[in-house]
Amino acid sequence: MARTVVPEAEALIDHPIPVLDKGFVRMVDYMGGDERIVQSARVSYGAGTKTVREDRGLIHYLMRNWHTSPFEQVQLTFHTKMPIFIARQWVRHRTARLNEISGRYSVMKDEFYVPNPAQIRFQSKNNKQGRSDETLDFDEAMAVIQQFEEEQKAIYRNYESLLEKNVARELARVNLPLSLYTEWYWQIDLHNLFHFIRLRLDPHAQYEIRVFAEALAQCAKAVAPLAYEAFEEHILGSITFSRSELEALARMLRGEESQLEGRNATIFAEKMAKLQSSVAGEPAAEPSLPTPG
């Protein structure tokens, strides 16, 4: 069988998508696309690709009903560069293969992440893991940035001085900070990439990983546009209700109280606000739900 070639994906191959101040996402290879998904799904009865309309219907059926294995037939390989603190969140997604640059073998580059002033914000009162929408004033933000830069320069100078003394690289790197940039090759199947994107595009994922998720989503959409359309329709743009929430919703439709209390009531109210905003065509207010990582 000839290799699947998707023109939109070919246009992205080896073209870095800039992310943050010094990072990037570069798709270096892919295997399969929408065609591979439908061929895999239809193999049990020997039918291959049909019309685009039929293929779209099948892909939506698979996504809607959580038939995930056909999406795993599509593989994407990326070369990415990100701050170490984002890399440590990233590797919580374990169903992938990666090779990272090693400070034991290589001299680490003098490249550190520095947030822009708009991202210098106060701690959120609702989400213990994240920042709020409230920014510091410009002068205060620039003072924070200056402090970041001065400390990064000092630490890197110390790192260089250890290397000049021929201290082993694996020891000289020990005090390098989380803001240092690292790089790796990362290969993942489409199903697990969708899982990554769903979690990391959440409004309460850390900003610095959301922007990487946006770049990865751009690549996924290029490789398998019908699958990405189905992902947006049935996963990314959907709202999931628990059993008790569905019972509460049924009571509300009967004009009764939801009977949910405490945190459960808060989460349910946030989901209902998102639903009402969607119906009204307005952006939903951001909920205060924590995000893993």
Helix (H/G/I), strand (E/B), else coil: 259? coil
Q: How far apart are CA 193 and CA 219, in angstroms?
A: 10
Q: What is the pLDDT of residue 85?
A: 97
Residue 293 lies in a domain: no
Rounded CA separation 265/15 (Å)? 46
Cα angle, residue 158 at apex, residues 153 and 159 outer, rounded to 5°: 95
Q: What is the predicted pLDDT for the residue at 207?
A: 96
Whole-number Å distance between alpha carbons of 292 and 198: 12
In a domain, 292, yes or no: no
Together in a domain, 21 and 94: yes
**Residue 200 designated active-site:** yes
pLDDT at 276: 82
Q: Are 69 and 202 in a shared domain?
A: yes
d(CA 4, CA 30): 9
pLDDT of 51:
83
Per-residue pLDDT of the chain (293 residues; tens, 9 = 90+): 568 899 999 999 999 999 999 999 999 999 999 999 999 998 855 555 578 889 999 999 999 999 999 999 999 999 999 999 999 999 999 999 999 999 999 999 999 999 999 999 999 887 778 898 899 999 999 999 999 999 999 999 999 999 999 999 999 999 999 999 999 999 999 999 999 999 999 988 999 999 999 999 999 999 999 999 999 999 998 999 999 999 999 999 999 998 999 989 988 998 898 888 776 665 544 433 333 34
Are residues 149 and 94 both part of a single domain? no
The set of residues, in sequence order, having a beta carbon less than 8 Å from that of 162 and lying 6+ positions away, is: 171, 172
Domain count, the chain: 3
- Model confidence, pTM: 0.89
CATH assignment at residue 185: 3.30.1360.170
In this structure, are 93 and 209 located in the same domain? yes
* Active-site residue, selected from the candidate residues 3, 56, 200, 263: 200
DSSP letter assigned to residue 278:
H
- Residue 134 located in a structural domain: yes
- Reading the block at residue 224, the tokens are 């398998």
Q: In angstroms, rounded to a whole number, what is the distance separating the alpha carbons of residues 120 and 139?
A: 11
Specify whether 23 is located in the same domain as 77. yes
**Are 77 and 189 in a shared domain?**
yes
Residues 6+ apart with CB under 8 A from 180: 83, 84, 108, 111, 112
In a shared domain, residues 82 and 192: yes
Is the distance from CB of 24 to CB of 80 less than 8 angstroms?
A: yes
pLDDT at 281: 64
- Looking at the domain assignment, is residue 217 inside a domain? yes
Judgement on whether residues 99 and 222 belong to the same structural domain of the protein:
yes
In a domain, 291, yes or no: no
pLDDT for the residue numbered 197:
98
Structural domain boundaries, residue 255:
244-280
Task: Report if residue 2 sits inside a domain.
Answer: no
Among the candidates 172, 191, 212, a domain finishes at 172
**Could you tell me if 147 and 259 lie in one domain?**
no
In a domain, 288, yes or no: no
Same domain, 70 and 195: yes
Do both 127 and 253 map to the same domain? Answer: no
Q: Rounded to whole angstroms, how far apart are CA atoms 190 and 71?
A: 6
Distance CA 65, CA 48 (A): 20
Residue 46 within a domain: yes
Q: What's the pLDDT at 203? A: 85
Pair (43, 86) in one structural domain: yes
Tally Cβ neighbours within 10 Å of residue 279: 8
